[in-house]
Amino acid sequence: MSDYAVVNPATGETLATYPTITDEALEAAIAGADAAYRTWRTTSVDERAARIRKVADLHRERRDELAEIIVREMGKPLQAALGEVDFAADITQYYADHADRITGDQPLEIDGEGTAVIRRTPLGVLLGIMPWNFPYYQVARFAAPNLVVGNTILLKHAPQCPESAAAIEKIYADAGLGAEYTNIYATNDQAATVIADRRVQGVSVTGSERAGAAVAEIAGRNLKKVALELGGSDPFILLSTDDLDATVEAAVAARLDNNGQSCNAAKRFIVVEGLYDAFLEKFTAAMAGAKVGDPFADDTVLGPLSSLTAAERLAAQVDNAVAQGATLVAGGERDGAYYPGTVLTGVTSDMDAYREEFFGPVGVVYKVADEDEAVALANDTSFGLGSYVFTTDEEQAQRIADKIDAGMVYVNVVLADEPALPFGGVKRSGTAREMGFLAADEFVNKKLIRVGA
């Protein structure tokens, strides 16, 4: 049986299966993408941008249909699914609107006579290996900038997202892109074959540390550019506030977004001791009160996790934390693939939970004495994706932003991603940036052209 299947996590029902691509069809896909690159790279920037803009338009036209697909595939609440489709459309349009800037020459000041510029030219065929947690958003932030600059795309989506993968490919086809964007239902072994193929110039993977390491190893052996977007255990540091209720609301939103299954979700809540008790009380009440239910219902906050396996894994992590001495303040009882808002305290550095990423609606709350202890705790992790700082002291905010080892720092705001803002981390959270202008620089040849007088 194929690994690619739509299994509704709310019911456990298998709704559809999709056949894995044959080796012959995979070879044809690679050849087609390579041939398409030869003409796509010479297509005018305006024409490439126009087709990518059409992709954004089609996301908006098919908004309801697209959202319903991913509710079935991975349990995302409907309102969140609609928001994801909207964001994917905005990201795609952003690159169409800024095509001239991301492909334009960059003049250099030189000492000698003549001119020098950096000209950004495409590399060729790229492989994207995408995760299940944001089936449209993740594809948009990889595919849109790279197609605008002239690369072509082979897209391997997560095995539990085959229906959304097909829907995205149909959008690109209807926007006038054929072999420039090709969906492949490939196995991991076949993906390794794609990476090794001489016609493929790079690979981008968003997923777990394990997946990233495996892909990077293959890419390294074959001297291919690799972009990694991996996990996170983002700190939420609270040092002062004029409105504790609003701060708690932000903390809960940052933890429960996408059923808690977001790489850059706030996961460790580091609170100065003067606010700790009040924060913990309010945070616990809000987490415990988050409605768990039918992901198609408008008032549902938490649908099921992406799969029964994901829920079992999260429950095992929480149970292990308690067995090692942590305190379960709220939640912690799994019901099939559903898992409630859960709060842990008393986690210490000798526990597994101190180092792990909880990929679900679990928040770990820590008490610290001051700013220095907060920063030390925030940085005491192998991850370095995002971070959140809440303080009324502007100078303190800037000090902490400088000290935190992370790719992103958000001060007094959460869920503030925008197409123009680069996304990515350091340490074991990854090696690249997506979104913003930095994304368009990941897979291009920054070619120096020096002309004498």
- CATH for 135: 3.40.605.10
Range of the domain at 315: 234-419
Pairing of strands 410-411, 266-272: unpaired
Half-sphere exposure of 362 (CA within 13 A, CB side): 31
Give which of 243, 225, 52 is closest to 128, Cα–Cα: 225
Domain assignment present for 424: no
Question: Percent of the chain scored above 90 by pLDDT?
Answer: 99
Same domain, 160 and 291: no
Same domain, 11 and 56: yes
Catalytic residue among 73, 163, 263, 371: 263
Q: Which residue has the tokens 């460790």?
A: 268
Domain assignment present for 318: yes
Same domain, 271 and 211: no
Beta-bridged to residue 63, according to DSSP, are none
CB-based contact 184:152 (threshold 8 Å): no
Same domain, 184 and 309: no
- CATH for 302: 3.40.309.10
Domain assignment present for 298: yes
- Express each pLDDT in 30-59 by its tens digit: 999 999 999 999 999 999 999 999 999 999
CB-based contact 3:20 (threshold 8 Å): yes
Q: What is the C-alpha to C-alpha distance for residues 36 and 181, in angstroms, rounded to an integer?
A: 9
pLDDT at residue number 1: 39
Task: Confirm whether 161 is a catalytic residue.
Answer: no
Number of domains in the chain: 2
pLDDT at residue number 103: 96
Task: Confirm whether 263 is a catalytic residue.
Answer: yes
Neighbours of 146 (CB within 10 A): 25
Same domain, 398 and 441: no
Q: What is the C-alpha to C-alpha distance for residues 306 and 283, in angstroms, rounded to an integer?
A: 24
φ/ψ of residue 153, rounded to 5: -125, 130
- Express each pLDDT in 399-438 by its tens digit: 999 999 999 999 999 999 999 999 999 999 999 999 999 9
Q: What is the C-alpha to C-alpha distance for residues 43 and 151, in angstroms, rounded to an integer?
A: 11
Same domain, 109 and 142: yes
pLDDT higher at 2 or 117: 117
Domain assignment present for 425: no
Same domain, 206 and 289: no
Same domain, 405 and 442: no
Give which of 191, 201, 190 is closest to 33, Cα–Cα: 201
Domain assignment present for 22: yes
Could you tell me the two tokens for 431? 């090696």
- Express each pLDDT in 221-264 by its tens digit: 999 999 999 999 999 999 999 999 999 999 999 999 999 999 99
- Express each pLDDT in 95-114 by its tens digit: 999 999 999 999 999 999 99
Q: What is the C-alpha to C-alpha distance for residues 347 and 64, in angstroms, rounded to an integer?
A: 42
Q: What is the C-alpha to C-alpha distance for residues 49 and 95, in angstroms, rounded to an integer?
A: 8
Half-sphere exposure of 236 (CA within 13 A, CB side): 25
Instruction: Give all strands (DSSP E) within 135-288, no chain letters.
Output: 152-156, 181-183, 200-206, 225-229, 234-238, 266-272
Same domain, 126 and 169: yes
pLDDT at 2 over 70: no
Same domain, 152 and 43: yes
CB-based contact 147:103 (threshold 8 Å): no
For the entire predicted model, the pTM comes to 0.96
Give which of 159, 197, 257 is closest to 29, Cα–Cα: 197
Catalytic residue among 163, 229, 357, 442: 229
Same domain, 171 and 199: yes
